[in-house]
Chains A and B, each alone.
Chain A
Amino acid sequence: MRIRSFDYWEAPSLDKALTELEISGSDAKVIAGGTDLVLNMKKKKILPSRVISLHNLKELDFVRTQDSEVRIGALTRHADIAADPLLKTHLPILCEAVGLIGSWQIRNVGTIGGNICNASPAADSVPPLMVLGAQLIVASKTAEKKISLDSFFSGPGETVLETGQILKEIIIELPKQRSAGCYLKLRRRKAVDISLAGVAFQAETTTDERRLARVAIALGGVAPTPIRVPQAEAILTGLSVDEAMTKISDCARIAAQAASPIDDVRASASYRRTIVDVFLHQSAQKVLRKLKNGGGS
């Protein structure tokens, strides 16, 4: 399958990449691992005249903690995130979700920044990042700004990124109290598939560990973009774990109503909606049980 001709430039640094991007304007496309972009260029869905490669920018390939935050460079590959000891300890939901992306081959090349910026409604990294309250650092030649992941997507394949901007890093504030999370993904076989519906559920206890201080729910693959479901979160927030257990059905029903899935070759809208309900039950139960039994991190 042919990729149409384009000009290619490999950026030696983020700074130079930003300069170049500003000059090239909207004709240029930034490539990280390329697992989505190359595929889309082969399918003629994206036809850039110029490609700026960030592939070798080591400065954006990192996972580190700083104070109470975890920072992940946008060019960190899925396989590295899935295996990162720090993340596995503090944010296992993210490692598990990213470990479900594509094949091992894809995870060895694809980056978390690419997964986010590609803006697939079904991107596996996004619902967990959303429930973790991730913030994005977006850089341009002139400024850097912080954007909440929740408000980053504007439609399928569309983000609020403007010409000249590059996603630089992802910041996640570490939960202060005991917390647990779970991501469940609907697939058509037991490995290597696009998410047909994904549910991320994260809960954090109060200081005295008696109540749920924060509940976050995000859905993937069931709306034009990944979404948070505040109405469903509100049902459980502030409750004791035992009380929350009794309200899971209400929470799941509301989350399923919040979804606006489509019918396509992969699944029907109604099946996707059903699965949101089912997975919300399962993930919430798993998380709440863990917290009740003194688990989580």
Chain B
Amino acid sequence: MRVPIHIIVNGEEYHLEVKPNRVLLDVLREDLGLIGTKKGCGLGKCGACTILLDGRPIHSCLLLAAQANRREITTIEGIAAEEPHPLQAAFVEKGAVQCGFCTPGMINAAKALLDANPDPDEAEIKLAIAGNLCRCTGYNQIVSAIQSCTPSTSDRPAAARGESNE
């Protein structure tokens, strides 16, 4: 059997027919070609598949695609406008990106945090990304990149301030 679903992904509407046993992650990657969302474990324990569902971070590997019906989805491909999102710029500039496999999920979690709480402290940042594993960076620079996008920081990277590198 197939289930009709209507979802909005990164602002675009899709009417899809999905098998009930498929999870949202696979539909995004395989049917919509949105490979920025990664599959790290398939069991909701690594966070690489984190996307925003109605603005809230979730593990797309644990959500049946059918359950995303009538919901709004944002993936890493959808968070930049014409310029990279300030978090994307900050992650790059601060050395928060190494292999980059955790990065899309991590940035999505960070974006949801800042949308809900624009000026989080360090503990709140760490708690927000606790479900996103990174094996390369030791997290310090990820936390620092997110901090650099908060209003109370004196340490905003140039691109995050909307300035050029010159």
Contact = CB atoms under 8 A, between A and B. Distances in A.
Q: Do any beta carbons of A and B sit within 8 angstroms of each other in the complex? A: yes
B43 interface: yes
Contacts, number: 96
B23 A3 contact: yes
B80 interface: no
B50 to A, nearest CB: 6
Contacts of B59: 35, 103, 105-106, 109
B62 interface: yes
A234 interface: no
Given A8-B1, A35-B59, A104-B112, 6 more contacts: A8-B20, A8-B64, A38-B63, A43-B43, A104-B128, A191-B130
What 7 A-B pairs are tightest by C-beta distance, nearest first?
A103-B131, A8-B20, A191-B130, A3-B21, A108-B56, A105-B59, A1-B42
Given A1-B42, A104-B130, A109-B58, A10 B66 contact: yes
- B interface residue count range (under 10 / 10 to 19 / 20 to 34 / 35 or more): 20 to 34
Interface of A: 1-8, 10, 31, 34-35, 38-39, 41-43, 51, 53, 55-56, 79, 102-106, 108-109, 190-192
B44 A56 contact: no
Contacts of B66: 8, 10, 53
A34 B66 CA distance: 11
10 contacts: A10-B66, A10-B67, A34-B63, A34-B64, A53-B64, A103-B44, A103-B131, A104-B130, A109-B63, A191-B126
Interface string B1-17: 10100000000000000
Contact of A108 (B19, B58, B64, B67): B58
B86 interface: no
Interface of B: 1, 3, 19-23, 42-45, 47, 50, 53, 56-59, 62-64, 66-67, 69-70, 109, 112, 126-128, 130-132
A36 to B, nearest CB: 9
A104 to B, nearest CB: 6
B43 A39 contact: yes
Most buried by B among A31, A43, A104, A106: A104
Contacts of A10: 3, 66-67, 69
A109 B62 contact: yes
B109 to A, nearest CB: 7
